[in-house]
RNA sequence: GCCGGGGUUGCAGAGAGGUACUGCGCCAGCCUUGAGAGCUGGUGCCCGUAAGGGCUCCUGGGUUCAAAUCCCAGCCCCGGCGCCA
């Protein structure tokens, strides 16, 4: 059974606790309990009426003459009653469904309580951060002295300025053509973008993932199964006059891939590495990161996605994070892992880690990877269950997890700030070079400033 | 986009107004030293402690006492034509 419905019926205290820790009202839980009770009551009533209707309908077949007319009269009346009762049931069901689906995922016990991203808890630091001498105090304070660092006396050019000054992207013309938060990526960064994608896909394929290039648009029905309703307004683009939405991440078509399926236990876990462009309205981000290619309406991303047995999902959560870490360690970019607190978690995930890269020019850690265990929150909506074998009764809903591997534009900003030389050249991480090697005109060691035109 | 054929339970196929059938697969029991064969019952979802009942023939509406079956709309698959990187 779906964990939220199970909790509503058998152990509401779990839901109260989860809601309290999120800082949300528990009133919705009480409403769910009440509606569920009413719905079951009404269902009983409806089934009784249906039974009576079926009995009468069966009688009509064999009845003759006057008797027949009488039975049909009665059956008509009962049929009307059934219709009425079914309508009431439908209303209750819709109400119950609406309430149940608006209950956020049940929070895992290891999620820290906090009101916003300032209260996320760093759990790990990796790499030696390059810290500009003026930022050292704040760095030490921010990291609680847990992170290694080296002091630099030159501050690199920030990624947003660098891409324009050094001629790696044209944001002005993109704004003219498509608006703010779009970009023309030019020359070396195009190759770098491809190399990052290839690097991540190659790694994940070797780790046992199936590489997938999914549809970039989805129907509403599938989409509503993978995300919160509010996202439709804030992040997702709709195609005019079509029942189609541009994907905000390949997580979404990957999650929906197996909707209305019963998966066999022995084929689990299913591991997918999705690669696709991502389209986001960023409607809720006014004024944030308006410059450069850090926060944009369109970017490329390699994503990890897992369908697994419920008892294995917490293990997979750690393993997805480990994959992401290995990829970023390979790039040589210092980062930290934060355990996202209740206030910053969102309603889909039961627990989430972010990997935040150190950005020397900004003197801050910035989000590069999000790694979530969605337990059965998505799989219930998408109706993805598992059974011992095809044809056998299902045992329950699978768990789904997703984690960024590499989002290319963000990775590029981190590379620009971490590996910038004094002359503006940017050293290319060694792990990417073999993916650039086959392309004769691609840069191999450094990305070089070139002011085009 | 147009014209035709189709979508039935894990799979294959029947059923063309009277409440889902046959075969295969799977599970349980009987039989057997054991396995197999054979026989019997079962096989999805929901409510119910249970007894039991309801729902389900791609989806949503409609007609009817009664819809897999008739009507309307949509989705998907196959074939043909058109268009097309």
**pLDDT of A285:** 81
Supply φ then ψ for residue A349, to 5 degrees: -90, 150
Is A44 one of the catalytic residues? no
Q: Is the CB of A56 under 7 A from strand B?
A: yes
Distance CA(A354)–CA(A119), nearest Å, equals 13
| pLDDT > 70? residue A442 | yes
For residue A108, give both structure tokens.
């895992």
pLDDT given at position A200: 98
Asked about A295 being catalytic, the answer comes back as yes
Going by C-beta distance under 8 Å and a sequence separation of 6 or more, which residues neighbour residue A295? A181, A282, A285, A288, A289
pLDDT band, very low/low/confident/very high, at A134 (cuts 50, 70, 90): very high
pLDDT for A96 equals 94
Residue A390 appears among annotated catalytic residues: no
The share of chain A scoring above pLDDT 70, in percent, equals 99
Q: What pLDDT is stored for residue A451 in this prediction? A: 66
Q: E strands of A223-260, at which residues? A: 245-246
In the three-class reduction of DSSP (H, G, I as helix; E, B as strand; rest coil), residue A283 is classed as coil
Identify whether A172 is a catalytic site residue: no
Domains of chain A: 3-101 (1.10.287.40), 117-447 (3.30.930.10)
- Strand B: list positions under 7 Å from protein Cβ: 9-10, 18-19, 25-26, 43-48, 52-55, 65-66
Give me the CA A77–C1' B60 separation in Å, rounded. 25
Nucleic strand B near CB of residue A91 (< 7 Å)? no
A156 in Cβ contact with A420 (< 8 Å): yes
Q: Is the CB of A46 under 7 A from strand B?
A: yes
Mean pLDDT of A415-441: 96
Q: How far apart are CA A310 and CA A208, in angstroms?
A: 20
Question: pLDDT band for position A62 (50/70/90)?
Answer: confident
Question: ipTM of the assembly?
Answer: 0.89
Residue A404's nearest CA partner among A330, A293, A327 is: A327
Q: Can you give the pLDDT at residue A453?
A: 41
Is the CB of A70 within 7 Å of strand B?
Answer: no
The reply to whether the CB atom of residue A64 sits less than 7 A from any atom in nucleic acid chain B is no
């Amino acid at each position: 059974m779906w964990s939220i419905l199970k909790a509503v019926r058998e152990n509401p205290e779990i839901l109260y606790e989860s809601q309290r820790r999120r800082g949300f009202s528990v009133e919705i839980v009480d409403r769910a309990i009440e509606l569920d009770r009413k719905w079951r009551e009404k269902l009983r009533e409806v089934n009784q009426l249906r039974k009576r209707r079926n009995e009468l309908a069966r009688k009509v077949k064999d009845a003759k003459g006057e008797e027949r007319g009488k039975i049909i009269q009665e059956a008509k009346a009962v049929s009307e009653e059934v219709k009425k009762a079914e309508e009431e049931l439908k209303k209750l069901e819709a109400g119950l469904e609406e309430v149940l689906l608006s209950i956020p995922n049940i929070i895992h016990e290891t999620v820290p309580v906090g009101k916003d991203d300032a209260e996320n808890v760093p759990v790990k630091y990796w790499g030696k951060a390059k810290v500009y001498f003026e930022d050292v105090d704040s760095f030490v304070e921010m990291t609680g002295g847990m992170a290694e660092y080296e002091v630099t006396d030159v501050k690199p050019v920030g990624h947003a300025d660098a891409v324009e000054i050094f001629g790696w992207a044209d944001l002005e013309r993109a704004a003219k053509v498509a608006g703010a938060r779009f970009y023309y990526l030019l020359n070396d960064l195009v190759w770098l973008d491809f190399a990052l994608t290839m690097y991540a896909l190659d790694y994940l394929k070797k780790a046992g993932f199936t590489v997938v290039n999914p549809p970039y648009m989805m129907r509403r029905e599938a989409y509503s199964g993978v995300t919160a309703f509010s996202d439709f307004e804030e992040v997702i683009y709709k195609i005019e006059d079509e029942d189609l939405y541009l994907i905000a991440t390949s997580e979404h078509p990957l999650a929906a891939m197996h909707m209305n399926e019963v998966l066999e236990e022995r084929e689990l876990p299913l591991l997918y590495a999705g690669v696709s462009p991502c389209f986001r309205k960023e409607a809720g981000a006014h004024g944030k990161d308006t410059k450069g290619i850090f926060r944009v309406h369109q970017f490329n991303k390699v994503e990890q996605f897992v369908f697994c047995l419920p008892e294995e999902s917490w293990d997979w959560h750690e393993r997805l994070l480990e994959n992401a870490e290995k990829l970023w360690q390979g790039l040589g970019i210092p980062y930290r892992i934060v355990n996202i607190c209740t206030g910053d978690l969102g309603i889909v995930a039961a627990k989430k880690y972010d990997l935040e890269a150190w950005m020397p020019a900004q003197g801050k850690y910035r989000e590069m990877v999000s790694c979530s265990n969605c337990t059965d929150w998505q799989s219930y909506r998408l109706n993805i269950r598992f059974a011992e074998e095809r044809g056998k009764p299902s045992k329950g809903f699978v768990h789904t997890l997703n984690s960024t591997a590499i989002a290319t534009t963000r990775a590029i900003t981190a590379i620009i700030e971490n590996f910038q030389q004094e002359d503006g050249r940017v050293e290319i991480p060694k792990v990417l070079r073999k993916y650039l090697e086959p392309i004769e005109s691609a840069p191999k060691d450094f990305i070089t400033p070139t002011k085009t035109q």
